[in-house]
Structure 1
């Protein structure tokens, strides 16, 4: 006789349940955490889960399965519908599995976890850890499993409490929202995910948990989830009970009311992806920022400048670029050492960041050179005024090291501007007399650092965007000669 046929479909029943006419009847009151979910909603949750997931009847038969069954266990989904779940459990684990599930269906718990060996399509067994919740009204069990074979084989006798805690921390949370985005159901895993018990979240709008900076992205994701066949996935920062924020990946799908076309409810599966997100952000920082100063590097600078120039085509205003050079910086490195030189660069970067507005970009162009992109200007004189403030700030002594040794250096500033009305780079009007030069700082003679020069801005913009060419728009404010020694560098002890 087929082993599966030999197992009665009523083996999940607690003592107070009987089979009648093929239906499993309950003498207890229908209750449980899953009663808020319709059978259709349950099917959506199965579909959303990235883990092995299924809907199972109280008769023990599998009703609906997701694609992970084939990916993880090798089963074509259609071959397992109406197959008793317990027939796939290892014979040595069946009694305990049946006992635990009977406790759940009888009302002894709202959710349980089970570990058992589960048969794959090729006949081998894998260790799975199941989380089960119950809908006693619909006589359904909602099941999610993860493969723990490697951890089982890697530790022959792990502490059961530790294993339970580890899995519970990693369990996905399930949430149901009404058409207005108010939480109507939250699974117990929310306590581990965000620190809130389910009853603390039910009745509150989910937008109140989302980081303010992520609100727009959340709105877009929710709109994408309103299609009958669309599933949205988005990673946002959610506020935890201790007021910190956690990176949470949410996969959502909406249930549409056919008569009206309105969203009846939205089902969401949530998972903590903090470690993965932080690693991703760290990689992005390494790729786009300068390792010494933390400022934008050339790659990010070029991208930001291109964005600003494209934005000019849609908006009115002026984009300005300041190109800065700490004069005779080599003398600092040669005289005081590279450690002091690096400290001066870091301090200069901090001063520039302090002067810049939130929408401006401060970048290290290389060596002792910095670039500031200033957008949203209404008049070119504002850019010249900013250049003056930069010169004043960077000429202040740098107090370096434990001895607070003072290092003073001069700075050269190149200015370039571009407006939407002109459609091409233009020089920024300055204050006071300016001498015109055909060469910029890079190609200019050594004496260029000792006088004020000014030139057109087109080449300066090209230099920032391409990393090559001639910087041709400069003006320079030098320190008083009495304060400068060794080629523009003064040290005070």
Structure 2
């Protein structure tokens, strides 16, 4: 029939090929007007319906594809987080293997017990590490824990075929190699980290530290966060016979799992993941499809009505012909790229002008091609996609198309099937989406890098408002995305860096566009941690900053490893004290500081008396306990600014910095001798009584260098031993003469107590709010027969050193009680404060002696104030606390003198039975509106009020100081602004004048 002959049934439009746009010839030849027109009419109707449905399908496909892609991106993020957790877990344990290797090199002859003690500290009850073995020349010498692993001691692991290759690789690469899972000699399977150890001197191979990891436990810990969301599968992918599925079950490819690889040693771990609840299924948008169907129904209903109502005329058919011509013109001149394709063969039937311009072929060339020639895909794949479009399964495709010049462009094709006289034709509308595809791929790659980076990434705007963070940021800082977005980086400030630090940081950003360094930040849980931070500026085309990008990593493990190695290198393993190496370093630093500040140093060389007897008779274990006890006692007897070191055996050294006179070293030496002159309990049945001989050398008087200072102190120690042991001696004779001078003062002071040569002077204490004199501080003076009136600094240190201080204290308290009784009889309501020594509390009946004096002179206990230095309370033997509690119960007022010069915290005061604090004069001297000392004084006053303590400020010398102290809330002032210490008669005269002035 003629209807099946395309060459008779269709006209060929001029200017285009024989199969350009198909136009029925019936319009021009006017044959079978109704039938031909009806077919043409229904052809356009079907084409409109196809276009509508094609647009609806394209929208539905795009929507479902976007939702599915979003889900895959989220699963990729969670999988990346899981891999990061696994990698971090393994890296943590590699640091332990390196630490064991360093310790082994430093102690090549260590015992199994010492090895076990060290590794026990590193493991910290880890459930992942099964054991740590150290193999010298690949023969296992040490293992921890030993129990259950005894059979591996002496095992040559290089003879085990399944382990030999990893051992050789670790030795040749000089790096840690992880192997496994492999079967263990003790049974079971595990990962094994091989860390090669080389001699730091010769560089020769020393041995191997093997860390055996229970990978099931490791994976359970690392994957705990994502286990509820993902179904994970992990398989070791290598050529070894022990390749295996190590976590989960294999996920079949038809489930479209997300896959990634993680290099673990010389193996590759293949991770696969799918959502635990499965991929999101297609859910049609019902409202959209109902609207489309309604549109199609209306379209066909109108067409049907129109067909019934109108009988086409010749003019009307001519109009329709012109419309067809216009459609033809629209097809060829439309800006969109259009092709018509034979659905069965794939031959191109027609192409518009835009297609010619885009592909670089003429229409005749295009019509001579099959669509597969343009596609940069296998012909079978093109044919499969064409069939999908024909059946309506898929109507939107993204293909790579090859142009005439050889360029490859990504195009999005919307294809709709049209049937003309039983012939299937695909109308394809084509869009160039190369830039969009490249941008999407770049964004996906950037997102994958951003989400899977092991380093935290934070992006802010120019005003430092956080715009984006990655999962590593959440893992390191503990902040969730919703908590960080919108905040500023000050969210992480630790408070350890001052304004100058951040000023330099932003100056570098402004000048160079980047900054890199170490910084301390704070996690959400409050812990402070170190991180390595890099910040870069992002600039717009005009050079203005638009964003900041910060990348940082937690270096806590690195810092801890450095600290552990520092501890091993510079500290004594038995006592924890600095060793000879660290002592020399600190001594050199102290000498440099002393040279700059024209200060003096002292080195005290201590050698324990009778230690050899304890070590030989009671055993080395008892000797070690004794050394540890001695180290504890000595540590509590020196300042934190000084250094106590153990050189080895029973030899210790104390380095005293910034001393004012040789007597300072004498005081410390005497105190250390006294502290060690007691029995030390070594166990339930054994105790030992030892002494100590101390040699003292001074800088710069006795030495020019640290080595010389230490050598001279050592020589002086032997001189002390020659003097009878349990004493001290100086390196130079002149210092010994000074010691003899102090002995003379001691004898004369004893006579002064018996011959009534001591006097009390009184310095007033004024209530700042009222100006009333509430009390005085009693200060001792010595009316020496030859030297005149001496202040306490001439004789009190000798009294402290030679054990005479308690008699002096009792004389002062008795004189103060006698004076209080006299004032009470005259109606003077003035209290007296007396300084007491820490040695007074070592006297068992000190409390009874004071109570007896109060009763003897009938003095009200509340009128007597006892002042103790802050350092007295820091040591807080129970005897001192109990005695203070008895005094307070009696009614005696208790005060802490020179507060702030020691190391007590105000919170510590809460547990002490005291009533007053005396702020040291050093803080009052520099008090001003902007001074740092003002902040300290304000803090002391504020917290003292919280503990209901009265605050006394010493050293008030100006009216400005008085006014500021009053504004800060200080209760009482004392100092030369009111008057110097006065004799009793001068004080009575001054008090009368003061009271008259205050009343006036």
With normalisation by structure 1, the TM-score equals: 0.50
Normalized per residue, the structure richer in helix is: 2
Larger radius of gyration: 2
